[in-house]
A and B are shown apart, each in its own frame.
Chain A
Amino acid sequence: MKFKVDNNEVFASTGGRPFDKNKPLIIFVHGSGLTHMTWVLQTRYFAFHGYSVLALDLPGHGLSSGESLKSIEEMSDWLSKVIDAVGYKEASLVGHSQGCLVTIECASKYSNKIKTLSLIGGAGAIPMNPELLSLAENNDPKAVDLMMDWAHGPAGHFGGHPVPGLYHINTGTMLAKTRTIKNTLGVDFRACDNYKNGFEAAKKIKIPTLSILATDDKMCPVKEGKKLADLIEGSQVDIIDNCGHMMLLEEADRVLAVLKKFITSKYPPKEIKK
């Protein structure tokens, strides 16, 4: 569906179901340079099981208009406005990678709006390799190739996609090349590199929080993910073996199962009383 925030059109997948304001809202926030399509193996399930779902395309990404936002702080403010724009007072957030930084910041700043937080492949800081950052900012497709290499675990490099016939690395590459690399990946990487407030923001979070980490994640290693989780009161951690940073696709069923258990228990799919 499409709606407007700050006069720019925002696209969000509703998981294949009409958006229903009587159901609790889950918002999914993608990683650097990617789009709502990374979430397809989680969003459709929730959309058909009692929730309203928005898998967002960040401004300037995928099917959303406008320019990419230049800082994690701006993205978190924008995310709060998304909740207002669709007529909700609260939502549950799920982030992947850069999306974790955005949702941590949002949950700490707008604590009254956010009911649960699920961090997939998250860390308190995501400093970028300077050469990778430079390649992305200079629109070099090698930046995407490097990202796909590092983002997939050893098993993911061979394939074995949960959806028959889909090949992980090439699909990810095409998603990252949906728009001009320097305007999406380049801006996003710089925003991640500049963001220094993750650990401080985490300390302020008091809502139920889940971290899903993967043993072969080179971009947000387990050690960094745990460091973040330790700062969030009562945070749960789930670690997936033999999987890389793209765990939401590489081990989609496992991620969905853990998310289901967490979200349905902490933010049940009941009708919202207006």
Chain B
Amino acid sequence: MSDKKKPINPHTYKFDTLSLHAGYQPHKNAGSRQVPIYQTTSYLFDDVDHAAALFNLERGGHIYSRISNPTVGVLEERVASLEGGTAALATSSGMAAIFLTVMTLCEAGDHLVVSSQLYGGTVNLFRLTLPKFGIKTTFVKPRDTEGFKKAIQKNTKGIFGELVGNPGNELMNMPEIANIAHDAGIPLIVDATYQTPYLCKPFEHGADIVVHSLTKWMAGHGSSMAGILVEGGKFDWMQNDKFPTMTKPYEGYHGLSFAEEFGPTAFTMKARAEGMRDFGPCLSPQNAWNVLQGIETLSVRMKKHCSNAEEMVKYLLAHESVAWVSHPSVPDHPDHELAKKLLPNGRGSMIAFGIKGGKDAGVAFINNVKLSSHLANVGDTRTLVIHPASGTHSQMDEATLKFAGLSHDMIRLSVGIEDINDIKNDFEIGFRAAKKPRLVSNQ
């Protein structure tokens, strides 16, 4: 036997355990093994002093379910733990999480630098809606790392992007763009919906705030809308004078400075105390509970999503009806090497491919697949397909479509966890129909 002393190691819980347990203590909930659904709007105060202390952030606790709810709180802690974040705030949808993040960060007159390859709804938020609040955006193509630097202005308050862009699968070079943001004294905000913390933890690569649509892979079941913003806790809001609403006394809470009082959780505290109070895009406890059911099996599902996606990539690459395939697992994908670094556990289950025959062929394909569902969602356990130019991104004009990297022959595929041969057989039906778009239809 060696007499060498065994090194001491921390025994904090690991990812799969946290997926099942984080954020919840049964002994404080009547011993209930499952997280209870606190279907209530409001919470009794012990006395007037207790009420005042809760309203004034002197004590932790719940006041009104628009601001916080115990079931939703478990979800928030669970996602924060999985991401390696300090705190999280769940919202009614992913879009609500993005909006709340921007409104917590920015004021009228501020500017953001944003990746051009985003979900169509997010593009519209930055391009059309936020300017109405006096917040302007410069879009930069996700691979144009230097472009992010050039686009930063004096009034820029952050960089935002999807790590893997929707729907073209272009990657942002997150570590380099994080350095650019930090050199400018601003945070990097990453939408990591496509990855979930199982595939990538953006905080480990320099992100400061992560947003998710929990509706997608995190929940997996396609039954419930939900979103979340998660705070990494490293960003120093006091390093410059760009974020006065974080660092200066805030009238809404008797002169509270969020950065001074709450440090690594300051952004989430402000987003809840101000954003949830004033905008109110809260998550229902039932939907929070539904999402928690999905998260319990996150790693199991993500492994199957990724293995099925890689099988589908091989199938599509070899198919005579397919013009091109975009997925970071493909060796000639421009971001293949970056994806290996940022997504070591799998490259995700979103595939974009071009169908020979253009838009008409795409429409025929979509109209004729039977197992695959044609709908405006991704990350369901079931396989989903859509033609972005006529669906999710249809509100974009031609120039914006082109800038966002969309083509009329593109089909977006969210690979489910069905038997892989059943998915391939279903696609054969679609491809056969696509060869004769005028003769075959499901009408």
Contact = CB atoms under 8 A, between A and B. Distances in A.
B56 to A, nearest CB: 6
A158 B21 contact: yes
Contact of B264 (A48, A162, A174): A174
A44 B57 contact: yes
Nearest to B69: A164
21 contacts: A13-B261, A16-B257, A44-B261, A45-B58, A145-B10, A145-B12, A161-B77, A162-B59, A162-B60, A163-B60, A163-B269, A165-B68, A165-B268, A165-B272, A166-B87, A167-B87, A170-B233, A171-B87, A174-B86, A177-B234, A253-B60
Interface in A161-205: 161-167, 169-171, 174-175, 177-178
A65 interface: no
Contact of A159 (B11, B25, B58): B25
A218 to B, nearest CB: 11
Interface in B244-302: 253-257, 260-265, 268-269, 272
Given A16-B253, A44-B58, A253-B59, A157 B13 contact: yes
B25 A164 contact: no
Given A16-B253, A162-B59, A165-B87, 7 more contacts: A16-B257, A163-B269, A164-B67, A164-B73, A165-B90, A171-B264, A174-B86
B81 interface: yes
A48 B8 contact: no
Contact of B77 (A37, A41, A160, A178): A160
A159 B263 contact: no
Given A63-B238, A155-B25, A164 B57 contact: no
Contact of A40 (B12, B28, B253, B261): B261
B260 to A, nearest CB: 6
B405 interface: no
B260 A13 contact: yes
| Best-buried of B81, B85, B261, B268 by chain A (most CB within 10 Å) | B261
Contacts of A169: 12, 81
B126 interface: no
A257 to B, nearest CB: 10
A18 B261 CA distance: 13
Contacts of A167: 22-23, 77, 80-81, 85-88
Interface string B1-41: 00000011111110000000111110110000000000000
A21 interface: no
B12 A159 contact: no
Contacts of A148: 10, 12
B89 interface: yes
A242 B255 contact: no
B262 A159 contact: no
A40 B262 contact: yes
Contacts of B334: none
A74 interface: no
Interface in B59-83: 59-62, 67-70, 72-74, 76-78, 80-81
A216 B101 CA distance: 38
B429 to A, nearest CB: 46
B262 A165 contact: no
Nearest to B60: A162
B84 interface: yes
A85 interface: no
A158 B24 CA distance: 6
A158 B233 contact: no
A149 interface: yes
Interface in A2-47: 13, 16-18, 35, 37, 40-41, 44-45
B23 A159 contact: yes
Contacts of A86: none
A166 B268 contact: yes
Contacts of B60: 41, 161-164, 166, 252-253
A170 to B, nearest CB: 5
A258 interface: no
Contacts of A145: 10, 12
Contacts of B13: 157-158
What 8 A-B pairs are tightest by C-beta distance, nearest first?
A: A162-B60, A174-B233, A164-B68, A174-B264, A163-B60, A149-B10, A165-B76, A44-B58
Contacts of B269: 163
Given A45-B53, A45-B58, A252-B60, A166 B86 contact: yes
Contacts of A41: 58-60
Nearest to B203: A170
B62 A170 contact: no
Given A145-B12, A165-B272, A159 B233 contact: no
Contacts of A164: 60-62, 67-70, 72-73, 76, 272
